[in-house]
Amino acid sequence: MSSALLSPSDERVEQLIVLTERLTDLIAKQATAFEARRPHEAARHVEETAKLANVYRHESARVRGNVALVQAATPDRRRRLVRATEAFDAVLARQSRAIAAAKTVTEGLVRAVANEIAAQRPQAAGYGPSAHGAGYANNATAITLNRKA
C-alpha cells in the first residue's frame, strides 16, 4: 500500500510496527546468542539495537503523550501494533533471562578461577617480617576481585 494513501495515523502506526518488529528481531538474535553461550555474536547487534531502542523509546513517549497520533489508525493496524508490542515484550523477557543466566555462569567461573589461584598460593608460616616463606619470593601472581566476583 502506498504511503500516500495512508492517513497520518496509519502511517505513524505502520512505522511503529516496522520499528517494533525490527527491534524484536534484533533482540531475539541477541537472546539466541546468549542462550547458545555465544555473547560475542550478540555483540554484533549492539550498536543497531541501541539506536533502534532509543528511537523506540522516543516514539513510545511521544505516543503516550499524545494518543491522538495513533488513535485514528484503522483497527486492524492498531491490532497489528499491539501484537508487535506483545512479541517485543516477550522477547525482552527472554533476553533478560538469557543475560541473567550468562551472568550467573560467568560469575561462577570467575569465582572458581579465583579460588583455584588462591589455593595454589603458598601459605605464610610463622610471624614477623621474615615469616613470608620462600614461596612468596618467586610468586608473581596477582589477582584483584571485588565482592561481586
pLDDT of residue 149: 47
Residue with the three cell numbers 515484550? 89
Domain boundaries of the chain, sorted by first residue: 8-120
Sign of CA dihedral 5, 9, 12, 15: negative
Instruction: Specify whether domain 8-120 bears CATH 1.20.58.
Output: yes
Tens of each residue's pLDDT in the chain, 149 residues: 445 588 999 999 999 999 999 999 999 999 999 888 888 898 898 999 999 999 999 999 999 999 988 999 999 999 999 999 999 999 999 999 988 888 888 788 888 888 888 777 766 565 666 655 555 555 555 555 555 54
What is the dihedral angle through the alpha carbons of 51, 48, 21, 41, rounded to the nearest 10 degrees?
-140
| 81 CB-contact burial (10 Å; exposed 0-12 / middle 13-18 / buried 19+) | buried
- Which pLDDT belongs to residue 108? 83
pLDDT of 130: 62
